[in-house]
Structure formats: C-alpha cells, structure tokens
Structure 1
Amino acid sequence: MIYRRFYSEVGKLMYAVAAVDGKVQKKEYDKLREIVEKKLVPVEHSTDQFGTDNAYYAEIEFDILMDRDAGSSACFESFCNYVEAHKTAFDAHLKMMVVNLVKELAHVYRGTTSKEAALIKKLKHRLDEIFTEPKA
C-alpha cells in the first residue's frame, strides 16, 4: 500500500463526513487537524521525498477538497473504491481506526447529525461488504 495515497483517501473520507450536512464547520476542521497531529502522525513512520510525514496528506487532501467545495458523495466513494482495490493491506485494526476517526470528527460540532450518522452507518456496511468473503 502506498501510504501517501492511503492518507489522502482518509482525508477524503473525513471530508465526506464533515461536509455531508452541507458545510464543514470550523470545529470540524480544527478536529481534523488535531486527529492528524495527535493520532495519525505519531503512528506513521513513512515520509514523502521531502521528509513530510505521510499522515499529513489526510489534512492536505481535506484542505484541497474544502477549497474546491467538493461533493461529499464522490469523496466517500473514492475512499470505498480505494479500500476495495487495496483490501489485502487492511486489517481489523485499520478498519476500526478509520471508523473511530470519522465518528470522533462527526461528534465534535453539536454532536453527530443524522446525515453524519447515516454516512458512518453506510461506511460500516460498505466495509463489511468489502471484507466479507463470498460464500461458495
């Protein structure tokens, strides 16, 4: 798995959750930055060619999507497609970490909205579909 791309996709997923109700709130953006700094950077040891920790690509991608006022659905689908294409690189811990990060982000501004909760539920369902082996 290419870590830079993974973190870019995590940034897309986090943006999808923050933007699903129509607007990314400042508290959501601040929480994203906190999550990257306190939860992702400490556990990521790979860097890009400039020495930047690859975990920062989650924040970089989020910033780009905010600037472009990107659609939540397309970002969500991009993350799910990435996971499906690289599912052998994911384990239960990584899946749980991603779900917990988006839950944390969703909760920061006035609690989790119904749209955010629905998207998180959809994420869990999609991950279950991706990682469930088809029955013979």
Structure 2
Amino acid sequence: MKNKQDSTTLFYQNLGELFYAIANADGVVEATEIETLKMVVKQAWSHSNNANIIVAMFDWLHDTKAHEAEVCFDNFLSYMTTNKVLFTPKTKALVLQTANAIASRFSGRNKSELILLAKLDIELKKI
C-alpha cells in the first residue's frame, strides 16, 4: 500500500514540477499564473484527493527557486517516459489543458512558454 501511495505522490509532484516549468518558462512566475494553477487544479483535477500535491510542489519550487524551468521540464519528461502507463489519453489531455491555461493567463503565451508547450505536446504524443 505504501508503494502505491508513494507512486501517487510522485505522480502529482511531477505534475507540479511541469506546471512550474510552464509558468517559469520566461523566468518570471506571475501571480495570475499561480491563481490559474490553483483554480484549474481545484476544478479539473478534483477527481483526485491528491491534487493538492500539485499546488504544494509548485509553491515549493516557486518559494525556494530550487530549479530552473528547463530542469523541471526535463525532470517531468524523464518521469513521464519512465511511467508511460500513468498517462492515459484523458490524463494527457488534462495535462495539456492545465499547461495551456497557465501559459495563457498572463498576457497570452510568450515564446518561451510556446516552446515548452510544443515540446510537451510532442512528448505526450510519443507515449
């Protein structure tokens, strides 16, 4: 049971890392991006009791500035590649929807965010 709980936590932590990478792609995380993340997680990820882990990881990365966007993005891709079975078509669509909502929130998508969104879309289609 503990392994399942640990793997579930890790899944949501990696989503938080991805969404932080999208928000921080331009080197600045805007308050509206944080608000959007929290709103989308509450609405779209509410089917899971662990969705709050996404926000907690995002907040931790934002507060500590422990990793740059590209590192977080690469960490997510590595996790996704290793755990393909977790990324059902529904989950992949929800990941893209959430990432797009975050990127679009503050004055539209910028070049850095568009690049990460395109990479994410390509990688999700590979699995």
TM > 0.5 = yes
CA distance in 2, matches of 1:89, 1:123: 16
Q: TM-score, normalised by structure 2?
A: 0.89
Residue 107 of structure 1 and its aligned partner are, at CA, apart by 0.4
* Structure with greater helix percent: 2
Structure with larger Rg: 1
* Aligned twin of 2:102: 105
Alignment check: 8 A CA contact 1:4 1:55 kept: no
Amino acid at match of 1:91: T
* Aligned twin of 2:36: 31
Is 1:120 the counterpart of 2:117 in the alignment?
Answer: yes
Identical-residue share of aligned pairs (%): 28
Which ranges of structure 2 fall in alignment gaps of 5 or more residues?
none
* Aligned twin of 1:64: 60
Aligned residues: 121
Which ranges of structure 1 fall in alignment gaps of 5 or more residues?
45-52, 132-136
* Aligned twin of 1:54: 50
One of 11, 17, 26 as aligned partner of 1:6: 11
Q: Secondary structure at 1:14's aligned position in 2? A: helix
Residue 128 of structure 1 and its aligned partner are, at CA, apart by 2.6
Alignment check: 8 A CA contact 1:35 1:101 kept: yes
CA RMSD of aligned residues (A): 1.2
